[in-house]
A and B are shown apart, each in its own frame.
Chain A
Amino acid sequence: MDASNYLYISALLFTIGAVGVVVRRNAIVVFMCIELMLNAANLSLVTFSRINGNLDGQVMAFFTMVVAACEVVVGLAIIVAIYRSRRSASVDDASLLKR
């Protein structure tokens, strides 16, 4: 089986994640779409590692996972803090800079 099939799936998942970030309004769903984009990037890193026959891609994917875990922790804390002060998890409601 051609390894680049995994790359196509990864490109599709990344694109779907990007659309989700733009289209959805609930901050938590937006955040899950960002996670989907990170995961898609990981899939292509693992596939690159297989194509090139060394483990560097897998180590990169490992680092991406660690950074993604940090990002989730901080991002969800920010969502909870915003929800506490504004009583809303919609990304449209946090618009103080616009006014």
Chain B
Amino acid sequence: MMQLALEVGQTATPEAVMFWILGPLSVVAALGMLLVKKAVHSAILMAFVMVVLAIFYIAQDAVFLGIVQVVVYTGAVMMLFLFILMLVGVDTSDSLTETISGLRPIAITAAIGFGGLMVALLGRATLGRDAVGLSAANANGNVEGIAFALFSTYVFPFEVVSALLITAAMGAMVLAHSQRITARPTQRQLSINRFRGKSLGTAAGLPGPGVYARHNAVDVPALLPDGTPAPSSVNASLEARGDMLDYKSFDLAEVNTQIEEEK
């Protein structure tokens, strides 16, 4: 399998076909990341871009990096992103409305200028020569070549990076750890808070969604004994996502209470 990928990279035409299919797709996926509303969809598109980059690495004779890209980025980093998305949940910050007026045109203008500069600059990186290619450097195998460089020339940066990894792990543990600074409220305290709180309306707890309403789906607010709907009975994340049904249509006053005799 790996040998096949290497052959694709070393012959010119299959690589060009692969590039002209996957290159535009990766740019479209990256643009989609900016334009889709939900963060989860952005994460999926990002994972796609990363897999495409892994294929590009393998096609350019960087087999080790291609495999590491799949394992580290799509395997670990993107799963971490999805996990945090699950923790944080759906948020109003997903919306694409502009909060700073005039930011978007300025950002797009600056991006066109910056992108043009980068393309013009990087286009001259080959200095008009043909690429040397890695067949000489990879003569003993790509992994062996990288290992040789890593443990001879770059052995000090390698050790520094290991210290960085340990520090990052410690930092993440410290940041994610939350210490309880007040005593855990007892059942007695919770009960007192409930009855001496702002209103007695929720003293007995909130009704579940759909209680006494026309149907008992989770997105239907419950009806209170006086017939008014209780939007607080619906899960807040459903409300944030905009999936809660409009509770005004469940007001008893608007429902036809005439009983029709059935035959």
Contact = CB atoms under 8 A, between A and B. Distances in A.
A33 B45 CA distance: 11
A11 B118 contact: yes
Contacts of B195: none
Main secondary structure of the interface of A (DSSP, over half): helix
B149 A66 contact: no
B178 interface: yes
B93 interface: yes
B80 interface: yes
Contact of A78 (B30, B76, B133, B175): B175
A35 B133 contact: no
Interface in A2-28: 2-20, 22-28
The range of chain A's interface size is: 35 or more
A92 B50 CA distance: 28
A61 B131 CA distance: 18
B219 interface: no
Contacts of B114: 15, 18
A53 B137 contact: yes
Interface stretch (B120-128, B182-190, B206-214, B245-253): B120-128
Contact of B111 (A1, A15, A72): A15
A4 B62 contact: no
Nearest to A79: B84
Contacts of B126: 2-4, 51
A15 B68 CA distance: 24
B128 to A, nearest CB: 10
A67 B77 CA distance: 12
Interface residues on B, range: 35 or more
Nearest to B13: A1
Interface in B64-86: 64-65, 68-69, 72-73, 76-77, 80-81, 84-85
Contact of B94 (A5, A26, A49): A26
Given A26-B39, A46-B60, A83-B88, A77 B68 contact: no
B146 A62 contact: yes
A99 B129 CA distance: 55
Given A55-B149, A80-B175, A35 B118 contact: no
Given A9-B23, A51-B132, A76-B81, A61 B62 contact: yes
Contacts of A80: 84, 87-88, 175-176
Nearest to A50: B60
B123 A39 contact: no
In this complex, the member of A22, A58, A79, A81 whose beta carbon has the largest number of chain B beta carbons within 10 angstroms is A58
Given A1-B15, A74-B168, A80-B176, A8 B31 contact: no
Contacts of B118: 11, 14-15
Interface stretch (B99-107, B197-205, B221-229): B99-107
A59 B68 CA distance: 12
A9 B27 CA distance: 7
B131 A50 contact: yes
B53 A39 contact: yes
B84 A69 contact: no
B49 interface: yes
9 contacts: A9-B23, A12-B30, A12-B115, A23-B104, A26-B39, A46-B57, A71-B168, A76-B80, A92-B93
Closest 10 CB pairs of A and B: A53-B132, A90-B93, A70-B168, A11-B118, A15-B115, A77-B175, A7-B122, A3-B131, A77-B172, A1-B16
